[in-house]
Amino acid sequence: MIELAPRNTSALNTSALARISGQPIAIAATAFVVLVLGIGSITLWRAYTGTAPETDRVVAVRQLQARTAQASEQLVEKTKGLEATQQESIDQLQMVQDQLLTVRRLLAAQQADTRKLSEQVGTLTESIDGLRQSFASAQATEPAAQPSSRKRSVKSRSHAVKPRASKSAKLKRGRSNG
């Protein structure tokens, strides 16, 4: 077995660290110069472009607030418009319902009148049928009785001589008729 000799890494580390730690003022000065150069370059860049992120953010926030306010106003206006339209629709619906109720009442009255007239027509039809039947029965009984009476009247007219009425009888008839 071969043993390896340990390296002296700690000596290297300590020498680099010793070099750096030996000049802390130089390190601080370098860091300070880098920091000043960074701030200077950011300042020059903002001055050259003419905008600062903070002012851009403030402007963006104000624009967003203005848009939000405008959108809110538009929503309020649209809501009021919808309320007005809805109220108009409700009013129109109530008018239509009132008209429908009126039409229903008129229809019910008309149906009642139609029923009444139908009953009257039925009654009249029954009366007419009764009159027809009575007329038919009267005609059925009359023809059998009439031929003998007609024959007599015709015979009596042709064979009988009518006496002339006197003037006084004609005057009496005229007065009673007039």
- With left for phi above 0 and alpha for psi between -120 and 50, is residue 85 left, alpha or beta? alpha
Measure the CA–CA gap between 127 and 120, rounded to whole angstroms: 10
* Mean pLDDT, residues 17-42: 84
**pTM greater than 0.75 (yes/no):** no
* Confidence tier at 178 by pLDDT (50, 70, 90): very low
First-last CA distance in the chain: 178
- Domain range list for the chain: 24-133
Q: Which residues contact 46 (CB under 8 A, 6 or more apart)?
A: 52
Q: Helix (H) and strand (E) counts for the chain?
A: 4, 0
100-150 confidence digits (pLDDT tens): 999 999 999 999 999 999 999 999 999 999 999 998 888 888 755 555 555
DSSP at 92: H
pLDDT for 51 beyond 80: no
| CB 103 within 8 Å of CB 109 | no
Question: Max CA-CA distance within the chain?
Answer: 194
